Amino acid sequence: MGIIGSEKPWEVAIGQILGNLTYNTTTDFNLEGSIHNYLGGKLVQAIIPRV
C-alpha cells in the first residue's frame, strides 16, 4: 500500500470493495482481473448480495 501511496490498511481496502460488491446472473467469472473471478463463482453466489 505504501508503494501506491495509500495509508489505508490493505485488508480494509479489499473489505470495502467486497462490502459494495453485488452479484447477478450475468456476472462474468471469466473476466480475468475482476474480483468476482478471484473469489470464485461458488463463494460469490453464496455470500455476495444479489441484485
Partner 1 sequence: MDIDNIDGFSLKNLNKINIILGKNGCGKSSLLRALNNKRNDINNVGRVKYVNPERGGSLVTEPGIEQNVIQDSAWVTNSRTANQQSQFRQQSAAQYRALKDIVLEELEQAVKNGSSTAGLNFDIYIDKINTLLDEIEIKRVKSSFKIYKKGSTTEINATSISSGEAELISLGIEALTFAKEVNPTKVNLLLLDEPDVHLHPDLQVKLMHFLKKLVQSNDFQILIATHSTPILGALENYTDTHIEFMVAGQNTLTFEPISDIYKRILPVFGAHPLSNLFNEAPVFLVEGEDDERIWQQAVRTSKGKIKIYPCVCGNVTKITEYEVGVKNVTKAVYNNAKAYSLRDGDGATGDIPDEPPITKFRLQCYAAENLLLTDEVLTSLSIDWAGLKSKIDEWINEKKEKNTHTMIIWLTSKPMDMIEKAINSKILETT
Residue 3 as a binder of partner 1 (CB under 8 A): the answer is yes
Distance between CA 24 and CA 41 in Å, rounded? 11
Residue 8 as a binder of partner 1 (CB under 8 A): the answer is yes
Q: Is the dihedral of CA 15, 13, 44, 48 positive or negative?
A: positive
- Contact between residue 36 and residue 23 where contact means Cβ atoms under 8 Å apart: yes
**Cβ of residue 36: shortest distance to partner 1, in angstroms?**
9
The correct pick among 25, 26, 28, 32 for binding partner 1 (CB under 8 A) is 32
Residue 24 as a binder of partner 1 (CB under 8 A): the answer is no
Residue 33 as a binder of partner 1 (CB under 8 A): the answer is yes
